[in-house]
Each structure stands twice: as structure tokens, then as C-alpha cells.
Chain A
Amino acid sequence: MTNVLLSAKNLSHHYGSQVGCIDINFDIYPGEVLGVVGESGSGKTTLLKNISGLLQPSSGSVKFDTRVDGLKDIYLLSEPERRLLMRTDWGIVFQNARDGLRMNVSAGANVGERLMAIGARNYGNIRNEATDWLQNVEIGLERIDHYPETFSGGMLQRLQIARNLVTKPRLVFMDEPTSGLDVSVQARLLDLIRGLVSQLGIACVIVSHDLGVMRLLSNRLIVMHQGRVVEQGLTDQVLDDPQHPYSQLLVSSILPV
């Protein structure tokens, strides 16, 4: 029995009188990919912010298996501890790659930054790691000194992934990582994410409205509606045999009869 990596208990978030998410419970185990699906306004983005340290929930707890002290509430960590966690053991891939990249420094520097942030001080080693990671995400090495501004949407997203994975995090949060990209670009990116995640054994929380993305990437699925989890289970089970009326609606709406 492996240890839980991240555990959300009785998590709720309110924006004033507006509901963000209500009474969410789940655990994530090492190497597992958890999908969170729902329409916009379903609370999935609030939930992602709550569990990734970006937004403290109104109530409930988020615990992470820290390397030193085991399971700790991330909002009870000191700020330096939490920030350290965010740039070592965690990665966050934003929907808009520009939010997760530094657009005014080269691709190589974008990848190397997290290494430098945790104390890497040998240029040659940083350069080598950046080279390896650009290869891993299928970005040509001739682009290593180019600025992200000159990259296509798909390349930006792959660069953002490389920037996050370079410190070999144990958990990566992804917010609609493929939305806004052309279908063919999406497919390539999904393949890449699936390959990297399984190869490195990284646990992932992926938020998306796209059931196709979930089918391909996630092991387990949470369906959210109006701030609540209405169904959760193995991805194939939920998609092939949805139990909750809302899940049924969601599945039927994307699968043409």
C-alpha cells in the first residue's frame, strides 16, 4: 500500500455568497492521473487553485506528502516552505502558456530557471538539462536560445511542460492544457503528456471540459457540477457507464449516437 500523495478533505470555497466548490473529498496516489471534468462554472478551476496552493479554501484541508515531514496541510506550511514545494515537488501548467513562461528570456533559460531556483550554479550542467528537456518535449535544439514569443501555441505549451518537469516534480497540476490548440496539435500534445507522465511516474491533476482529453490521459475521473462532485470512479467506467444524470448528459452530449 503506497502513501497518499495529496489528500483533499471536506474542501469548500465561497466567493462571498457565490459558491466555488462544495465539500470535495479525494486522494491522489503517486503516479496517478486524476481528471476533473465539468463545464465552465462547475467549480473545477476553483478546486484546482485550492489544491495547488494558489487559493486558500474557505474550509477543509489539503494535505501533501512532504519529503521531510510526510502528510502536511499545505496552508499550514510557512510561506517559504510552500513556495519551495511549488518549485520543486510541484508543477503547474497553465491553460495560457504565457502565464507559466517568462516571455522575455530564451527557451533554455525558461527550462533552466527552476534548476537555478533550487541552487544549480553550473552553467554547463544547466545547459545540458535544458537541452535534454527540449528534446523530451520535441522542441528542436536550434530553438534553445530563441524567445518564446517566436513559438507556436503547441510549442509554447510543450515548453511550459519542460519548464515544469525539469525538477522532476511528484505532482503536476494542469489546467485545460490543450484547449485553444488545433486538433492535430492537441493530439500530439496529449501523446506527449501521456508518454512523459507514465515514463516519469508523475502524478497529475488535469482539469478539462474535454472528455476526449480525459479518456486519453486520466486513470480516474471526477465529474463536477454546480460546485459539487456528482460522480467519481475509474475513467473508463464513468465514461462508458455514467451513473449520475448529469454525467450521462455530459457523456451523451459529446458522443454522437
Chain B
Amino acid sequence: MTAISGDRKRSSRLKEKTLDGYNFAYLDDQTKRMIRRATLKAVAIPGYQVPFGSREMPLPFGWGTGGIQVTASIIGIDDTLKVIDQGADDTTNAVNIRRFFAKTAGVETTENTSDASIIQTRHRIPEVKLKSDQIIVYQVPIPEPLRWIEPREQETRKMHALTEYGVMHVGLYENIAHFGKVTTSYDYPVQVNDHYVMSPSPIPKFDNPKMDKMPALQLFGAGREKRIYAVPPYTKVKSLDFDDHPFEIESWSECCALCGSSSSFLDEVITDDKGSRMFVCSDSNFCAERRAKGHKGPGLPRKLEIKDIE
């Protein structure tokens, strides 16, 4: 969060680079102050969902308006922004959000995780360990982890306040009863600082351990549901589980076909219409950096031929 000073060089840069007729980072100052107040409250009560007056944004709900509003309220002219969608920097949504802030705030943008001061994300936490001078902003579609079992807002608030979280384990119980194991693989619920149970947004559970004691500040914005919540740096984040079914993350028998990494989250990619497929890092920046350093994967698998199937 870089303060905007009256520095002449900066103000000229502001004039030069941002869109005429728009506020810095699009939102008006009053809205930003309101969102910052909600954000500060969220940081003070780790995992607690703070209601805020979500604004109309120039894109529809479901496109990350919650995350965008949070980013718009904390970004300063000296920040460097990275935007991830599905782990990649080059998907339409990521490109659009990055361009939006480049235009309305005139900030530097980057695809390089280590160079970013603010990372707005949907679906992933970068593989590179985040640092204490970074902030990660998650886009959240459904902030209330208790909603699936308790539709009444007043009741879920009470359950949070009194740490009545037995029903979260009812969900895990159902998974094991029906499938023999916990099959929830995205948006896997966590308990923050031994109190609030929180939805980590639709990241794979592979990323859950990264949230625990993370040096970077983690902010969560839900636009449609009008909620902001946060995990301050170095805060305990525990994934819910049973003693006899401990929390586990996904693992792969292969490594990344391109960079050879065996410690990253892999996506299965179909490479042609003949059934060839490979596993590659979902974090495209992580993969590219490894390749730039000379790491190599096994490459494309031998194409399947008809005789292999027969």
C-alpha cells in the first residue's frame, strides 16, 4: 500500500498515464475509504467476513469485482501489479484486469511473481513463496463456508461468533461416507487463527498450506456478496479434517513436461486431437522462470498410435 504523495514527478506521471475523466484506480475516494475501513477491520479480525458497500464496476459480477474493488482501494502509483487467472497471466480475464489498472491507475504491471507488490488472483496462489512486502488479493465468488448447510444469514453469523463449526465436519463426513475419502479439492475450508472458519476461494486445496503463516497479507473480496475478509501475515491457517482422515494435498506421478518440476500444481493439457496429453505447471510464470534457468522436462509424450490402443 503505497501512499500517494504530492510529489511533482508522480503527479505528472499520474496525469500522463491515467485515463482522463476517471479517478485514480477508477473508484472515487469516498468508496476507497469505505473499502479500506472494511479491509482494516478484516485484518484486525482474521477470517471474519466484513460487509461492505460493494460498488458497480465496469464488468459483471463473477469477473472478480470484489477483488478489483479491494485492489483499487489499496493500490498506489508505486505499486507493481500482477494478475492471475487459472494460474496464468495471459488468460482473457487476467489480461483485462491488468489492462484496467494500467489504464486507470497507470501502475506498472508484471507477470513475474517476485516483482509484484500486489497480486490479484483467481484460482491459484503462486508457487514462489510470497514475501512480507507483498499483498495477495483473492477474488471470491461465495464467501460464506456455512451457507451450503445453513441458509439463514443471522444463524451463520451466530455460528461464527460462537465457533459452532460442527456442521463443517458434517460436510467432510458426507464426503468420506459417500466416496471413501474427502473429495473436496477446491475451496477447501480452513480455520483461521483457531477461530473463524473461512472459504479460501476456489483455489485447489494444494494451495491451502501456502496460506498458513504466509508472510504476505492476504485479502479476500466478494463483490456480489459484498464481503471482505483477510488473513494477516504469519497467521495460522488450518485445513479442516478428521484425526483418522488427515488433510492431504493433491500429488502427481508425473512431473511438469516442460520444466520438470515435481513440486508444483500440474494441469493436464491435451496437445492434439489424437489423444496426446501432458502435465504442465498451472503457474505459467513459475514454469517459464524454471525453463529460463535451464530446467527441462521430459517434453511431449510419444503420440499414441492406433496400434497402442488395439
Contact = CB atoms under 8 A, between A and B. Distances in A.
A80 B158 CA distance: 9
A118 B166 contact: yes
A117 interface: yes
Given A104-B149, A121-B243, A122-B244, A116 B162 contact: no
Interface string B163-186: 010110110111011100000000
Contact of B170 (A109, A118, A122, A144): A109
A113 B242 contact: no
B177 A109 contact: yes
B162 A122 contact: no
A127 B173 CA distance: 9
A123 B174 contact: no
Interface string A91-134: 00000000000101110110011101110111110110000000
A9 interface: no
A118 B165 CA distance: 9
B212 to A, nearest CB: 19
Nearest to A108: B177
Interface string A199-215: 00000000000000000
A102 B150 CA distance: 10
Contacts of A145: 177-178
Contacts of B243: 121-123
A194 interface: no
Contacts of B178: 106, 145
Interface residues on A, range: 20 to 34
A49 interface: no
From A109, A113, A127, residue with most partner B Cβ within 10 Å:
A109
A179 B201 CA distance: 45
Instruction: Classify the secondary structure of A's interface with B.
Output: helix
B147 interface: no
Nearest to B159: A83
B55 interface: no
Given A108-B173, A145-B178, 11 more contacts: A79-B162, A102-B149, A106-B177, A109-B173, A109-B177, A116-B169, A116-B170, A117-B164, A117-B167, A118-B166, A123-B172
Interface of A: 79-80, 83, 102, 104-106, 108-109, 112-114, 116-118, 120-124, 126-127, 144-145
Interface of B: 149, 158, 162, 164, 166-167, 169-170, 172-174, 176-178, 242-245
26 contacts: A79-B158, A83-B162, A83-B164, A102-B149, A102-B170, A104-B149, A105-B174, A106-B174, A108-B173, A108-B177, A109-B170, A109-B173, A109-B177, A112-B170, A112-B173, A113-B166, A116-B167, A116-B169, A117-B164, A117-B166, A120-B169, A121-B242, A123-B243, A123-B244, A124-B244, A145-B177
